Chain A
């Protein structure tokens, strides 16, 4: 394939841009400093399109498409922001808040939470969907880390980082729909997991306070997921 045929030209929010054929709308947009909100996406991890925060409108498509898993195409006309998209995103965000118990005021991630930041950015002033108040467990059996399912948004970043970067495959998902839970091994207590290397990458990539370090509780915890792309490059370089 020639270099020319590998390039796609499209418009995002009226701006004409070019992108590589293997790029997603999200990658192309961010390369051109066009903002699209995301939650499950993290640079350095594979895409799953789970959270739907990055929905965009593509002319000719019958429904909104997730920018993180939709490849650019020649002549594509993409809209990242309009009242309909904003309404969808806010509703999705409200569903996240209603589904579990997100109590920012007492959360270890308060002030450093991607879910909270999205609510601020998108101007979510209240939640119209009835809160579900599920009774979910907290697993504090690991000596260094805790998982609080009340704050989990099922983005599966922990699952992916454990599999793709650390290679331990400790994390997985059980159940279906809103009843899904991230689990360690075959739902063993985290502290009893035989595969966990206690590397802490899952904690660093978790966008909320669902995974956190015990001795940082009450601190202004700032997670550091930015290391992933570098780590990935370094590890691929070794192979």
Chain B
């Protein structure tokens, strides 16, 4: 008999969603859809507000990645002011963005995914949590907590508070960095780097256990997109967009992020509030691409810091072409954390970081502005239009998680086809369906700018659409 499995809500994600698996008469998965079920409408209710409020307003989209929105939004506002902000302000924003990357990656890797990696995909559901990890693997749990703290503490030192700081503003930042705080940051770097290196070594040792998952966790050709600098090195704050295909060929390089609308389209599906961005020249869904840690490390020429570069070489040595399995997002996340810690160190060690001139002021000089930066999950685009007084008339936010939407849907289908068959579905199989989503570390509240509870659900549906089974965790 045809069936529908519903996993609702899917756990250990940021935001609220569910998964529907459509089975045929023989119990084979025919289709899988990933629904993000709530809408917040930030783009609409921003209309009429002064543009300089946008960093603070859009930061409230998310408590995990407010800094990413602050940075992208401030850059869009810089474009409206049409000023070149002081170099030190850009570097200070860079440091905060990298600190954000570390804390968010630590959250994803240790808090959300390490239970699967340490305890196994088939471990009892009640044991798959960071609390249990802290009990069974205290040193890894402690490293996770310490790395998240490392990122959050730097954000606090720079901006005054850890979540939703108001320090990044149109034209630069509010306050310069003091020498005392600079020294505190520098003092925290060695321990953070050591913790990341330890985690990388452990992960490399255990990754072979997951060869089956690597094979089917969204393991298919797509494009990859991310920011790079003029030398093709990973860039998180500025630079140009590069798109590569699954063979590693650069199919579009040096794309001006401000012109994103010329090469990125946004498709809409009726079953989810999350949009489906695609590379316009290849259409939808042919132009499906992935963003985030895996994409960034796939398309970069190398990393520009010693430890991260070494790790990047080992990572890329696993395949002569770009790594296609989304399972490798985990690995990429660890390398990016190392890269970020080293970059923070080099930026902060530069005496110029203490420069006091941190903000440029101007009135509205352009009626439109685009700000693009790399958020932990991938490329984040803020695009505003204003009237001559600076009041927002239109806003569009293209969120990192959204870019990965089509790949996530396909990945769920691939994983479900492999693991879900027939009526009797083991918990560990459904956990793998959730786990493939976790590799992308989607931030569902950001992706729809939606208000929601954390968990996500899976539905199993009959060919006629009737619901057969629903897995829901509260």
A interface with B by C-beta (< 8 Å): 105-106, 108, 110, 137-141, 143, 146, 148, 191, 214-215, 217-220
Contact = CB atoms under 8 A, between A and B. Distances in A.
B211 interface: no
Given A140-B390, A214-B363, A215-B361, A220 B49 contact: no
Nearest to A135: B48
Q: State the main secondary structure of chain B at its contact with A.
A: loop
Contacts of B48: 137-138
A131 to B, nearest CB: 14
Contacts of A141: 389
Nearest to B59: A106
Given A215-B171, A217-B53, 9 more contacts: A106-B56, A106-B57, A110-B166, A138-B49, A146-B50, A214-B50, A214-B390, A215-B361, A217-B169
A108 B389 contact: no
Question: 6 closest Cβ contacts across the A-B interface?
Answer: A218-B169, A217-B52, A140-B389, A106-B56, A215-B361, A106-B57
Interface string B39-77: 000000000111011011100100000000000000000
Contacts of A139: 389
A93 B171 CA distance: 36
Nearest to B166: A218
A191 to B, nearest CB: 7
A214 B53 CA distance: 10
Interface of B: 48-50, 52-53, 55-57, 60, 164, 166, 168-171, 174, 361, 363, 389-391
Given A106-B60, A143-B363, A219 B174 contact: yes
B60 A140 contact: no
Nearest to B74: A218
A138 B57 CA distance: 16
B170 A218 contact: yes
Nearest to A143: B363
21 contacts: A105-B164, A106-B53, A138-B48, A138-B49, A138-B50, A138-B391, A140-B50, A146-B50, A148-B50, A214-B50, A214-B52, A214-B363, A215-B171, A215-B361, A217-B50, A217-B53, A217-B170, A218-B53, A218-B56, A219-B169, A220-B166
Contacts of A218: 52-53, 55-56, 166, 168-170, 174
A146 B390 CA distance: 10
Contacts of B168: 218
Contacts of A105: 56, 60, 164
A140 B49 CA distance: 10
A18 to B, nearest CB: 46
A140 B390 CA distance: 7
A188 B162 CA distance: 42
Nearest to A219: B174
A137 B50 CA distance: 11
Contacts of B164: 105
Contacts of B174: 218-220
Contacts of A108: 53
Nearest to A190: B389
Nearest to A110: B166
A108 to B, nearest CB: 7
Nearest to B56: A106
A20 to B, nearest CB: 45
B219 to A, nearest CB: 42
Contacts of A140: 50, 389-391
A216 to B, nearest CB: 9
A219 B55 CA distance: 12
Nearest to B174: A219
Nearest to B81: A215
A143 B361 CA distance: 12
A106 B69 CA distance: 14
* Most chain B beta-carbon neighbours within 10 Å: one of A141, A146, A217: A217
Nearest to B388: A141
B10 to A, nearest CB: 28
A205 to B, nearest CB: 21
Nearest to B160: A220
B41 to A, nearest CB: 14
A140 B363 CA distance: 11
A191 B389 contact: yes
Nearest to B49: A138
A120 to B, nearest CB: 17
B449 to A, nearest CB: 14
A225 B168 CA distance: 27
A94 B349 CA distance: 50
A105 B55 CA distance: 12
A188 to B, nearest CB: 14
Nearest to B362: A215
Nearest to B390: A140
Nearest to A148: B50
A140 B50 CA distance: 7
B95 to A, nearest CB: 18
